[in-house]
Structure 1
Amino acid sequence: MKLNNVADVLVMGAGPAALCIAAELVQHGLDVQAIASKSPLEPWPNTYGIWASELESLNMQELLKYRWEDTVSFFGDGLGGKGNICTNHHLDYGLFNSINFQEALLERCNGLSWQLETVDNIDFRERETVVICTSGKKYFARLVIDASGYKTPFIRRPKHDQIAKQAAYGVVGKFSSAPVEKNRFVLMDFRSDHLNANELEEPPSFLYAMDLGDGSYFVEETSLACSPPISFESLKARLNLRLSNKGIQIDEIFHEEHCLFPMNLPLPYRDQPLLAFGGSASMVHPASGYLVGSLLRRAPSLASEIAKVIKKEPLMPTSQIAIRGWKTLWTNELVQRHRLYQFGLQRLMSFDETLLRSFFDTFFKLPKKDWFGYLTNTLPLPRLFIVMLKLFYIAPSKVRLGMTGLLINKREKI
């Protein structure tokens, strides 16, 4: 029995998270509506990187625009961050072709049209949810999924006084000389020989960079997590200082990128009648900041559970459908893993620049399958415990003290 004029599911948002879950729901034959304040056809402003094997496991590697075999990091040689010791990751990395990715998801939505509205309020009833827009229009659905991003005012979660955000300022363009070696991707360049003593005491940042071919490059100064976040102005100044220290000038800018998102957003209350997906569901990886791989892996199971409930139990209250969705999205294992990652992030946020370089130098000495699984949140909980213990065992003494919270430094106030 289907209520008149009531959709099965209404999805809020028009970014990667919204399109991922909407596409899966449509593929299950559900009646889906979508609302967003901007068109899903509007190009996404940011680039999305991913380890190529993540897409290969989903048979989606054709969505990559760029792919690098030469993937490296630099952590300095222990002498104030200087030195050119190169850590080779031996794992392909890629950037999505954002346009193709967006079009592929829209195609799987089978012509689903987005209502361009701004949501003002949401009213929960026993067997339907009413989405009320600023235009005065109302939309009705058995279940509403908020995939509009971490800034949503509609998802309830515990308060957190110190929300740490990853911030990045990047440039795609041409340079007076190559900032990256030919055909190379640099995951993290923590070398700090361009910084003076005072600057080394500031919250650390690193260079994320890649050769795009045809004489163009993408360089981005990135802060892992900081509360309050490092400003775009500061990151831009650091990037220019890093480049000028090597005698490199920016000749032409094709695109500027500004990224800012929370890394330690508390998990939402999982008994609320409004379901979430993506950033609004705290799905950003607290340790790495990655999200897209998780969207692609977790959308199918969530959509499958929602479709099963709506089709087989048409009289189930809306609140119970949402709870079934929350239990699927955030299983007990995923919740425990998330807590472990947040604990690790909290410790890293207290590390100064020297300690952070030493930590990552140690981290990438782990077996590839372990650090890859850690960064992608694909390690089963028992294995995650083992990997964290292994990391502690092989770490230098100061890093161990920092990981246990026994080493107090100037950033500890964070």
Structure 2
Amino acid sequence: MPASMSDVLVIGAGPAALAITAALGAEGLAVTVLSLGDPAAPWPNTYGIWGDEVDALGLGHLLEHRWKDTVSYFGAGDADPAAPANRPTVHGRDYGLFDKHGLQAHWLAQAEAAGVAWVRGRATAIGFDGPAGAASPGGSCAVTSADGRVLQARLVIDASGHEAAFIRRPDRGPVAGQAAYGVVGRFSDPPVGPRQFVLMDYRSDHLTPEQRLEPPSFLYAMDLGEGCFFVEETSLALAPPLPFETLKARLAQRLTHRGITITAVEHEEWCLFPMNLALPDLDQPVLAFGGSASMVHPASGYLVGSLLRRAPGLARAVAAALADPHASPAALAAAGWHALWPLELRRKQALYQFGLEKLMRFEAPQLRAFFASFFALPAEQWYGFLSNTLTLPALLAAMVRLFATAPAGVRWGLMGMQGRELGMLARLWRP
């Protein structure tokens, strides 16, 4: 291999790019990262994870905050705080918020120790030394940057996010986005209980009757300690997504209804990402990772736990394929795609997307009843569902149990077939 050629060139500088870069470096591969921004620049968003999930990875030390008091509210709300409509659903499971600077430093340190080369620039084209790199054995990829530089590698991984320019995926209709507006700051009164984390607060007593007919949103909130809190108004998923202005206004309305004002804003968070992107074409000669590979969990929106779990396995598969000096970029990418999206994971993804399509049709009362039933499942089922750690048979069993125990209105909503749902079920068998 020429001295100027890398084993792998990674495009991107966010969590997905750093996760796969660190994992590839741990395999002893020569890696170059091409990114428009500084890989050490602070990330704008926060990242949460269930305590069991991060503990299983041995990375609990990367949490900045951890809560044992984890609850949700699925009642409609009432003026009386003690009313049944205000009773919390207690999850009984730890939840954590990553120290995002610590997580970033964790991956950067691994990459630096592996001798990763960092290049600043925007990728504008990828060329191959044969038709798609597969016409003849061997070969490489040539990535051209906006300033005219050409970087060579045997394989390219686009980890630049859900709008990745070099990843093909089928068009399966409107893409649903999860939108959220949040504030880290100080308040006239605590918006949540001391040392408490609220996963979902679907109470709607602060809304007008007209607003209650609009697509619902919920509060995601936590006590950060020392008088500081994070509150975020979130829309589960919609196509098109709820506007930020609507979410910001609803958050203010929710707080005002409870007699709470924001006294100091330390950080604002604007979050929008797709929940039901189609899986990429798995026969293309460029590999993807993270949002560009449709790895966002369609039911929960979680991604970082999946990055941490799946990056090492993908890196091992890529390293094994690279051991063949005659493997073309297409063959290398094929090995990566097979490791990243094996048949069982593709079928699970189809199930999750089918479920999300159903929930997007639910009105607020149905959603509240659905989630109340969901979190009444055995903890290993709802946790495994949200973390994507259940096997396919276990996932099907959880969904069957949920259907059997849910109220009639939820069951009817789950049974009705509209629009794309039959096609989604078909992908369970032929993903």
**Residue 116 of structure 1 corresponds to which residue in structure 2?**
120
Q: Give the CA deviation at 1:114.
A: 2.0
Q: 2:297 aligns with which of 279, 285, 290?
A: 285
**Residue 154 of structure 1 corresponds to which residue in structure 2?**
166
**Residue 347 of structure 2 corresponds to which residue in structure 1?**
336
SS of alignment partner, residue 252 of structure 2: helix
Q: 2:372 aligns with which of 361, 364, 369?
A: 361
**Residue 36 of structure 1 corresponds to which residue in structure 2?**
35
Corresponding letter in the other structure for 2:364: E
**How far apart in 2 are the matches of 1:355 and 1:60?**
37
**Residue 97 of structure 1 corresponds to which residue in structure 2?**
99
**How far apart in 2 are the matches of 1:104 and 1:5?**
27
Structure-2 change in CA distance of 1:79 and 1:395 (3 Å): farther
**How far apart in 2 are the matches of 1:289 and 1:195?**
25
Q: 2:405 aligns with which of 379, 391, 394?
A: 394
Q: Give the CA deviation at 1:21.
A: 0.4
- Percent pairwise identity: 53
**How far apart in 2 are the matches of 1:280 and 1:98?**
21
**How far apart in 1 are the matches of 2:101 and 2:76?**
40
Q: Give the CA deviation at 1:154.
A: 1.1
CA contact (8 A) 2:76 2:202 kept: no
**How far apart in 1 are the matches of 2:340 and 2:418?**
36
SS of alignment partner, residue 349 of structure 1: helix
SS of alignment partner, residue 54 of structure 1: helix
Corresponding letter in the other structure for 1:398: G
**Residue 272 of structure 1 corresponds to which residue in structure 2?**
284
Q: 1:383 aligns with which of 388, 394, 401?
A: 394
**Residue 178 of structure 2 corresponds to which residue in structure 1?**
166
**How far apart in 2 are the matches of 1:153 and 1:19?**
18
CA contact (8 A) 2:202 2:217 kept: yes
**How far apart in 1 are the matches of 2:290 and 2:327?**
25
**How far apart in 2 are the matches of 1:285 and 1:407?**
22
Unmatched 5+ residue regions in structure 2?
134-138, 420-431
**Residue 57 of structure 1 corresponds to which residue in structure 2?**
56
Tell me, yes or no, if structure 1 residue 321 matches structure 2 residue 320.
Answer: no
Q: Give the CA deviation at 1:160.
A: 2.9
Q: Give the CA deviation at 1:406.
A: 6.0
Q: Give the CA deviation at 1:228.
A: 0.5
String of CA shifts for 1:188-219, please: whole Å, max 9, x gaps: 00000011111011111000000011001000
SS of alignment partner, residue 178 of structure 2: strand
Q: 1:347 aligns with which of 358, 361, 377?
A: 358
String of CA shifts for 1:220-252, please: whole Å, max 9, x gaps: 000010011111111000000000000100000
String of CA shifts for 1:22-44, please: whole Å, max 9, x gaps: 00101111010000000111000
CA contact (8 A) 1:78 1:358 kept: no
**How far apart in 2 are the matches of 1:260 and 1:266?**
17
SS of alignment partner, residue 163 of structure 1: coil
Question: TM-score, structure 2 length as denominator?
Answer: 0.92
SS of alignment partner, residue 361 of structure 2: coil
SS of alignment partner, residue 58 of structure 2: coil
Corresponding letter in the other structure for 1:117: G
Question: TM-score, structure 1 length as denominator?
Answer: 0.96
SS of alignment partner, residue 83 of structure 1: helix
CA contact (8 A) 2:77 2:86 kept: no
CA contact (8 A) 2:77 2:204 kept: no
**How far apart in 2 are the matches of 1:32 and 1:301?**
17
**How far apart in 2 are the matches of 1:78 and 1:351?**
19
CA contact (8 A) 1:13 1:35 kept: yes
Q: Give the CA deviation at 1:112.
A: 2.4
Query: 1:179-218 residue pairs with structure 2 within 5 A?
Result: 179-218=191-230
Q: Give the CA deviation at 1:82.
A: 7.9
**Residue 4 of structure 2 corresponds to which residue in structure 1?**
5
Q: Give the CA deviation at 1:4.
A: 4.5
**How far apart in 2 are the matches of 1:197 and 1:406?**
29
Give the CA RMSD over aligned residues: 1.6
Corresponding letter in the other structure for 1:100: G
SS of alignment partner, residue 38 of structure 2: coil
**How far apart in 2 are the matches of 1:124 and 1:338?**
31
Q: Give the CA deviation at 1:78.
A: 8.6
Unmatched 5+ residue regions in structure 1?
409-414
CA contact (8 A) 1:39 1:114 kept: no
SS of alignment partner, residue 132 of structure 1: strand
**Residue 68 of structure 1 corresponds to which residue in structure 2?**
67
String of CA shifts for 1:293-340, please: whole Å, max 9, x gaps: 0000000010001111112x0111110110010000000000000000
Q: 2:140 aligns with which of 92, 107, 128?
A: 128
Corresponding letter in the other structure for 2:395: L
Structure-2 change in CA distance of 1:195 and 1:67 (3 Å): same
